[in-house]
Structure 1
Amino acid sequence: MTDHRFLSSEEHRDLRINTGASAELGDGVMAAMTVPHEFRQVQAHYPIVFRRDAETGSYVALALFGFTEGENLFVNDGKWDTRYQPLAHSIQPFLIGRPSQESGESQVHVDMDHPRISTDGEGMRVFDDDGSMTPYLENIVNKLGMLHDSYQASGAFYEAMKRYDLIEPFTLEVPLKDGSKHSLVGFATIHEEKLQALTGDELADLHKDGHLMPVFMVLASMSHFTDLIARKNARIDIG
């Protein structure tokens, strides 16, 4: 269930957010959406893959946290074991909302049913006593703006990938030290052979529009599958 409301100092003066890390707080997810604008930061920690929407045929990029639904191998002892979280995950329980009038500006909304909403008086304050935004909320608002703008701009990236047929499905077999195997299916990545076959003019076209660097970041991120397997094996050792 969700309960999205327009965030206001009048209604949410005493609102606090639990910023810990746990499955119970919403971190028990296998992946989170990411956008080309942040691929450089994301690829430093996570594999970046694409998933195709069966109804629309469009792609979305995901930062992988694990191999199975509900598995996040980056949360340990109540903390994220990385220096960066994808924007779409780090802004929870906040989101961009639309006013009743389509021509109006975007608004900050909050999901009051999200598990990060504090009910015990603990957590990060959203507003000060005088109703001003706290530094925590200011940071969230900045992230929301970046995510909104980057998502709107990502359409051009996927159009370029379609134009040059650069996204291909892949399957990954993941053997683990206990003898079990996971098959990662339903995802896609950059088609390296087709990328290498592009002409100089085609590469220049991608570079001119700012799409070439995100492509390289996706390819670079694939090395983190080795790290992800190591994290999975470490969990097996712990039991």
Structure 2
Amino acid sequence: MASAPKPGLPIMYNDLAPLNSTEHGTWKAISVDKASWVAGVNAIPLTVEEFPQAQRHFPIVFSTGDNPVPLALMGLNEGVNVFFDDEGAPIEAAYVPAYIRRYPFLLVKLEQNTDNLSLCFDPTSNLVGPFDEGQPLFTADGQPSQHTQQLLDFCQKFEEAGLKTRTFMDELAKADLLMDGEVAINRLDGSGQPFVYRGFKMVNQEKLRELRGDQLRKWNESGLLPLLYSHLLSLDLMREIFAKQGAQGKGPAPAEMFNAAPAQA
């Protein structure tokens, strides 16, 4: 059983340690066919660059709180993921968000008085260690290996995508476009009360229709407008995710509601 995450850590990360050649000079990173770290996680942070691919598979919503972030819903109820089983094995072919693929690595600002970011990893992941097999993290002379350089590049691109996502979210805030979301889904047999899901934010379509033409042209030219429609179109997948939950025996109890807690990227 994984240890409880430390306060303030991003979702899925239980701990963080800086990667360095002194302590980890002979360590290796291994690849696995099961993403155990995502089992039971129903809402994954998403960057705007992923919207075009993600909208085909997941509802894209926004977390609640003062600094909302985009989320890909892999399940409508807490602890439910219809794309990965309880051991983290894929149930069906679908886009895998970069947040999942980045784990167990992460760029972190270790000193508050500098903008430098250091490559860290989750030491509880069992994906990095003094293994006999795997990808070396450092060369014999203590320099980052080619694999580590690729990890750094991936994490750096993720950070850059995160900045674009923050700009996107700032634009939504300026226009006051986000509203509390609510989706009611009827039972397949039509009996009883519908299941109601709340605890997330979505774009207010009425306010979107009322925006000035010059604002819409600006957003269209910047690529922001297509992102809004990717989000809105993806909401139709809520019912598909609900159906998958039922088919997998993961359907909600009558009183359960989805609650997308604020997530850290």
- Give the counterpart of 2:33 among 12, 17, 20: 20
Task: Give the 3 Å change call, closer, same or farther, for CA 118–183 of structure 1 in structure 2.
Answer: farther
Q: Report the equivalent of 2:198.
A: 185
Distance 1:133 1:80 in 2: 33
Specify whether residues 25 and 157 from structure 1 end up closer, same or farther in structure 2 by C-alpha distance, changes over 3 A only.
closer
Equivalent residue, structure 2, for 1:102: 113
Unaligned runs of 5+ in 1: none
SS in 1 for 2:69: strand
Q: CA RMSD in A?
A: 3.0
Q: Measure, in 1, the Cα distance between the counterparts of 2:122 and 2:165.
A: 25
Q: Name the residue aligned to 2:262.
A: none
Q: Counterparts of 1:201 and 1:228 in 2: how far apart (Å)?
A: 37
Aligned 8 A contact 2:46 2:98 in 1: yes
Q: Distance in 1 between matches of 2:206 and 2:200?
A: 18
Cα deviation, residue 50, structure 1: 0.7
| Greater mean alpha carbon deviation, residues 122-131 or residues 2-11 | 122-131
Q: Which amino acid aligns with 2:111?
A: S
Q: Deviations over 1:125-163 (max 9, x none)?
A: 35376465354x454333311221122232321222122
**Residues in 2 aligned to 1:149 and 1:26: alpha-carbon distance in whole angstroms:** 23
Alignment of 1:5-84 (within 5 A): 5-12=17-24, 13-22=26-35, 24-53=36-65, 57-76=66-85, 78-79=89-90, 81-84=92-95
Partner residue, 1:85: 96
TM score, norm. by length of structure 1? 0.81
Structure-2 separation of matches of 1:122 and 1:25: 23
Counterpart position of 2:219: 206
CA separation of 1:80 and 1:210: change in aligned 2, threshold 3 A:
same
Q: Which amino acid aligns with 1:187?
A: F
Amino acid at match of 1:60: V
Change in Cα spacing, 1:217 to 1:91, as seen in structure 2 (3 Å) is: same
> Closer, same or farther in 2 for the Cα pair 1:172/1:237, shift >3 Å?
closer
Query: How far off is 1:75 after superposition?
Result: 1.0
Unaligned runs of 5+ in 2: 6-13, 252-265
- In 1, Cα distance between the equivalents of 2:75 and 2:161? 25
Equivalent residues in 2 for 1:127-142, closer than 5 Å: 127=137, 130=140, 133-135=145-147, 137-142=148-153
1:84-107 per-residue CA deviation (whole Å, 9 max, x = no partner) reads 222222211111112436335212
SS of the equivalent of 1:193 reads: helix
Greater shift in the superposed pair: 196-205 or 175-184: 175-184
Identity %: 23
Deviates more, 1:165-174 or 1:125-134: 125-134
1:60-102 C-alpha deviation (Å, 9 max, x unpaired)? 1110010111211101482263342222222111111124363
User: 2:90 & 2:165 partners in 1: Cα distance?
Assistant: 30
Question: What is the CA-CA distance between 1:31 and the residue it aligns to?
Answer: 0.7
SS in 2 for 1:73: coil
Amino acid across the alignment from 1:150: A
Q: Does the alignment pair 1:165 with 2:176?
A: yes
Cα distance in 2 for residues equivalent to 1:79 and 1:129: 33
Q: Is 1:16–1:122's contact at 8 Å kept on the other side of the alignment?
A: no
Partners of 2:61 and 2:234 in 1: CA distance: 9
Distance, in Å, in 2 between the alignment partners of 1:209 and 1:8 is: 40
Distance 2:162 2:22 in 1: 30
* TM-score normalised per structure 2: 0.74
Letter of the aligned partner of 1:94 in structure 2?
F
